[in-house]
Amino acid sequence: MAQRSVDKLIHKAAWLYYTHGLRQDEVAQRLGISRASVTLYLRRAREAGIVNITTSTELFRDDRAARQIEDAFGLETVWIVGNDGLAPEPVTQVPSVAAGVFLEMVESGDRIAVAWGRTVYAMADAMAFADRQGVTVVEMCGNLGSPYEYRPDQCIMEIARRLNARGLNFYAPLVLRTAALAAELRQEPVIREQLDSISGCSLALFSIGTINEDSHVIKCGALGLSELADLKALGATGVIAGQIIDANGALLPCDYNRRMISADFDAIRAIPRRLVVVQEDDKFEPLKAALKGGFATHLVVTADMARNLLASIPEAPSSAPADIEA
């Protein structure tokens, strides 16, 4: 249901003033209203408790383009960042908006599966503190060594800390030397128990990775450059929880995937609420593959990515992408 126009202005004024730090006169100029109206709206925002990012996420879901994407890809809810011109650089706003979305989705008693990555790490850093009861945050895939900048265990524990929740790290490597060694390790009781528990989670949080020289799996050392061309020839399109998918969102049959310690794709898809956050606009093909594979129920993207998704729908009206403002 669309918000009333006054409610929208209250949310927008609070977003600009409290999140972006604009002065009241700057907020008034940006929204085309008087400073007295800004003062009134900010007071109403404080009284209604909508002075933080979590409640302002309504700004990013009340959009016809979001509804079209939801219908086309079978998603429950889509949030589009940068569709109203409030943020000068929408890409930089994705982690903070997604952090608010995530907090709104977390319920007391949830068991949350999280696959780490640069976007998820940035979300953890931007996340407000919330006291949820009986929540457990579970690492979805194996770990990396300490030299890596975005350590999975740190990412998961920071999210757990922000939720006042229990964090369960995966004390196994992300990738092993051989497929046989990985298969043997997956049968160890402690590892098997955590892998089997993924499908029992009520909420998942992850991003989609690319397959190029700047991709996450290359930079973290999980995949070597020499393997990259061969995998692309096999149809490698993107990365989910450290594992490589093809253009249909299926697990790519390759030695690299057989050497991984990560959640089974069927187990991930069994989680009823799956929040996928895509910050970079160069992840269009990986995201399209992930959506085709049925990995997301909820999605946070930029306006540019939303335009690309709409343009990829054959039956979408030709004017649909223009509905999203830059």
C-alpha pair distances (Å), 100 with each of 188, 253, 303: 37, 36, 18
> Tokens 């979001």 identify what position?
66
In the chain the domains, ranked by start, together with CATH numbers, are: 1-51 (1.10.10.60), 53-323 (3.40.50.1360)
Report the DSSP beta bridge partners of residue 166.
Answer: 136
Enter the DSSP assignment of 77.
E
pTM beyond 0.85: the answer is no
CB 258 within 8 A of CB 243: no
Query: Which two three-digit tokens encode residue 16?
Result: 């600009």
Q: How far apart are the first and last CA of the chain?
A: 24
C-alpha closest to that of 280 among 122, 174, 65: 122
How does pLDDT run along the chain (326 residues), one tens digit per residue? 344 577 778 878 887 877 666 788 888 888 888 888 888 888 887 776 655 544 456 667 667 889 999 999 999 999 999 866 666 677 888 998 899 899 999 999 999 999 988 899 999 988 888 888 999 999 999 987 655 556 788 889 999 999 999 999 988 998 899 999 999 999 999 999 999 999 999 999 999 999 887 777 777 767 777 788 889 999 999 999 999 999 999 999 999 999 999 999 999 999 999 999 999 989 999 999 999 999 999 999 999 999 999 999 886 454 445 456 54
